[in-house]
Each structure stands twice: as structure tokens, then as C-alpha cells.
Amino acid sequence: MSLDPRRVLILKDVIEATSISGAARALGWTQPAVTHHIGTLERSVGMPLLLRRTTGVIPTQAGKALLAHADAIASHLAAAEAELEEMRLCKAGTVRVAAFPSALATLIPHAMTRIHKDSGLKIRLTEAEPDEAMKLLHDDDVDVAVVFSYSDTQPTDISESFDRWTIAMDPVALLLPPTHPLAHKEDLHLTDLADDAWVAGCPRCREHLVSMAHRAGFEPRIDHETDDYVVVQSLVSQGLAVSVLPMVALAAYRNEDVVVRDAPELTGRRIDALFRPGADRVPSIAAVLGALTNDAV
């Protein structure tokens, strides 16, 4: 027969109180209740654990042996309780976050300083483009994936399997070389740049660019490709091409030799924090999500 851990702990109380009724008082119970527990415990081990005296009880050898283990069990329970309490207060624990580069340069640092200020949470950051970040999330390599998505791209099946908190809407801006003839044209439209050379970013961004161009009525001539927003601005500043970049990327790095313009045809992207369904009820993860959304400007 198997030992009931609760009764083992009751035995510990009894031995420490040196009497059954003493333990009962300490537990806020009546004496027969404790007597009954000890009785069933003894029946389950098949021998007496206590010798009854009119002055109280004294443990047998078996009782002493069991007491030693009971102490260990009680310690572990107490330690677990303390640890969980710390977690509940976000004093401990690590939340693993994956984010795309420009978010890592802008949104995340704000959120991290806020979290460090009012909790003891540790954050482990991983740089990853959205698709990779979602894979990390799926494989339980991260707890939160900060991703972006364009409204004109189909949501992938994997991205749908997560819950999301939307952090921010991130508008997209046009980038022109200062020397570009239309750099300062009023009422600038996308079609004005139908014949220009373009720099495209990552596959998703390229797709978004093409999609916007199609809606405006032309096929963009994409001469260069890079997902590095510093390189994009560098190419533009030297007059080699025009391009688009999200404002968050521009907030992360801004080349002064680039003219930033808006155009009515431009559609933005949405920045989401993804997490495994239900994970937002875990306090530490909720704290990170909260810090991220509050930081949105």
C-alpha cells in the first residue's frame, strides 16, 4: 500500500508536538481526527510508528525513519511554495522573447527597462524574422514572438495557432534620395515612382511592396534586395534607388541623407506579440506583454 504524503506530514507534526492532541491543537483539528490519520498511516505501513504513552507519544524506529523523509518532503513543499509565490509576483522567472531586428532596437528596450524597474523578471532576447520567430514559439524555444504582418498577405496556418496581443500599427513611409526630382513634390503618389529602381526588404516586405504597387497600377522594378534597414537607407541616400520602410525601422536608424515622404497608397503593417494560447494568464508572460503594449506610441 502506498503512503499518503499528507499523513506523512501529519506524522511529522505529531512527533514534533510529542503528542497527538498537541498536533491536533496546532492544526486546528480535534484529537480523534489526528488519531485516525495516524492509525491509517500505521495500517498502511503495517507496523506502529508511535508508542502511546499517557504523557504523549514517542516515535518507534520506523517512525523516526519516516520522520526524516517527512522533513525532506516538507522542505520541498515549502521551497516550492516560496518559488511559486515569487513567480506569482514576477520576482523571478525568465521570459524568452523573439523579435525582428528593428523591434529589438526600439520597442523591446523600452519594455525591458520598464519590466526591470518594477519586477525581477529576466528577459532572454532572440533576434528572428517573423517566420523564424513563430517556429521558435511553436517549438517552445521562446515564450513570446514579436512579429509583424501586412494586411495584404495571407495569415499562415502557423500564425493562426497562436493567440496575439497587437502591440502597434506601424505605418510605412517612402524613402527618396535628396537628389531625387520628386523628393519634395507636393501630393506625392506611388505611381510617380513607377519607373524608379527599388530596394526591397525581406520576402514579406518585398511582397508587400509589390502588392502596394500593383494596387497603384504598376510593376516595381526591384534592383536591390536587403532586409537590413541601414543598408536600404544607404542605397537610397546614394541615389541608387527608392524604397519603403516602416516607421519603427526608421526610428531604429535614420540616415539624414534620405528624404522620408508619405503617400496615400501606402498601407502599414501590424506588430503583434504572439504566444501560446493561454500563456497570457501566466503572470510573467502577462507582464512582458503588458510592458510591450503599453510602450506602443
Partner DNA sequence: AAGTGACATAAGTGGAGTTTATAATACCAC
Partner DNA sequence: GTGGTATTATAAACTCCACTTATGTCACTT
Give the one entry of a copy of itself, DNA, none that residue 30 binds, where binding means its C-beta sits below a cut-off of 5 to 8 angstroms depending on kind.
Answer: DNA
For residue 183, how far is the Cα from the chain centroid? 41
Residues 129-168 that bind DNA (CB under 7 A): 161
Which residue number, 61 or 154, has a Cβ lying nearer to a copy of itself?
A: 61
d(CA 251, CA 187): 24
Q: Tell me how far, at minimum, the Cβ of 221 lies from a copy of itself, in Å.
A: 47
Which residue number, 56 or 120, has a Cβ lying nearer to DNA?
A: 56
d(CA 209, CA 213): 6
Q: Tell me how far, at minimum, the Cβ of 1 lies from a copy of itself, in Å.
A: 9
Report the residue from 3, 45, 56, 122 that binds DNA according to the rule CB under 7 A.
56
Give the one entry of a copy of itself, DNA, none that residue 223 binds, where binding means its C-beta sits below a cut-off of 5 to 8 angstroms depending on kind.
Answer: none
For residue 122, how far is the Cα from the chain centroid? 11
Judged by DSSP in three states, 214 sits in helix
Q: Tell me how far, at minimum, the Cβ of 58 lies from DNA, in Å.
A: 10
CB 47 within 8 A of CB 62: yes
- Type and span of the H or E element at 7: helix 5-17
Query: How many CA atoms does the CB half-sphere of 163 hold within 13 Å?
Result: 12
CB 288 within 8 A of CB 97: yes
Which residue number, 93 or 246, has a Cβ lying nearer to a copy of itself?
A: 93
Which residue number, 42 or 170, has a Cβ lying nearer to DNA?
A: 42
Cβ-proximal residues to 261 (8 Å cutoff; 6+ apart), any chain: 173, 174, 175, 176, 183, 188
Which range touches DNA (CB under 7 A), out of 26-34, 107-115, 204-212, 288-296? 26-34
Backbone angles phi, psi at 30, to 5 degrees: -95, 160
Which residue number, 28 or 181, has a Cβ lying nearer to DNA?
A: 28
Q: Tell me how far, at minimum, the Cβ of 280 lies from DNA, in Å.
A: 15
* Chain positions contacting DNA, by CB under 7 A: 4, 6, 19-22, 28-33, 35-40, 52-57, 161
